[in-house]
Structure 1
Amino acid sequence: MTDTLYLPQTERSPLVELDVDNHRLRIEGESYPEDAAAFFGPVLAALDAYLAESEQRPPASPIVMDVRLLYFNSSSAKALMNVFQRLESTAQVGVGIDVNWHYHPDDETMKEFGEDFSEDFEAARFNLVVSETDLA
């Protein structure tokens, strides 16, 4: 079984937690790491291994991804898109996937990013979630 992945939040990179046992992926904070490919590489590798297992033995409950970002740069947006594409591919083979894009009601930019990302989903459920509490 895939191990749980936990990367603590730093000044430039988000908290990332892949909780295999509970079928949850969480990304929170700000994302503008010096090298986004190097930062997200282990995340994508762990996610790939977990999703491959999930496709073989689908979990009883959906896989849930919660995204709570205050800011991200373009290279982080590309990495997020890679995560979302993997989740969508897994959903297309029948595994339940829920993506929750959390944004503050005053943050129109993050809402629009969520709307843009949601357009790429057909099989997975993409939910825009207004979060009144501080996201960081």
Structure 2
Amino acid sequence: MDSWKTAATKYTPEIYFDASMNILGLKGESYPENITEFSSPLFSWLENYLEDLGKNTFTINIELIYFNSSSSKMLLDLFDLLEEEVNDNNKNIVVNWIFDIENDAAQEYGEEFQEDLEILPFNLVEKEE
């Protein structure tokens, strides 16, 4: 699997995959007009990737400064998919929710997501300056 990167736009975050480290990242703001158009390619890629993951650890770093309600729903769907993979298929997956200490909303959303998850490792990570 090769590394790749999709540049951020005014309405969507940068998305990148580092194949050597098995890290997927979302960084920036997320408020696309059509969340399905934005998220479908990501979910398709992710489902294929997870099939071939084996016992390697897969890390997802999420650093969203702002996101709207449809992006929040997409994140919940993402976490549900990942939690299902951990639970049903014994995948080693870790999510890091990265936030700026001055962004109370981002921290609170991370805490809420963390509370909703039962077995998916979900870390709240304060952004280093």
Task: Show the counterpart of 1:75.
Answer: 70
Q: TM-score, normalised by structure 1?
A: 0.86
Q: 1:36 Cα deviation (Å)? A: 1.0
CA distance in structure 2 between the partners assigned to 1:80 and 1:102 by the alignment: 14
Q: Secondary structure at the match of 1:124?
A: coil
Q: Secondary structure at the match of 1:127?
A: strand
Aligned to 1:89: 84
Residue 30 of structure 1 contacts residue 69 of structure 1 at CA under 8 Å; is this kept in 2?
A: yes
Aligned residues: 128
Matched, 1:63 2:58: yes
* CA offsets 1:82-118 (integer angstroms, 9 cap, x no match): 1111111111122211110011111111111001111
* In 1: Cα distance, 2:37 partner to 2:69 partner: 15
Superposed displacement of residue 21, structure 1: 4.1
Q: CA deviation at 1:20?
A: 3.9
Q: What is the aligned-residue identity percentage? A: 34
In 2, Cα distance between the equivalents of 1:39 and 1:109? Answer: 23
Letter in 2 for 1:67: I
Per the alignment, residue 25 of structure 1 pairs with: 24
Within 5 Å, give how 1:1-136 maps onto structure 2. Answer: 4-54=3-53, 57-59=54-56, 62-92=57-87, 93-133=89-129
SS of match in other structure, 1:12 = coil
1: CA distance between counterparts of 2:6 and 2:39? 10
TM-score, normalization: structure 2?
0.90
Gaps in structure 2 of 5+ consecutive residues = none
How far apart are 1:79 and its partner, in Å? 1.1
Q: Letter of the aligned partner of 1:18 in structure 2?
A: F
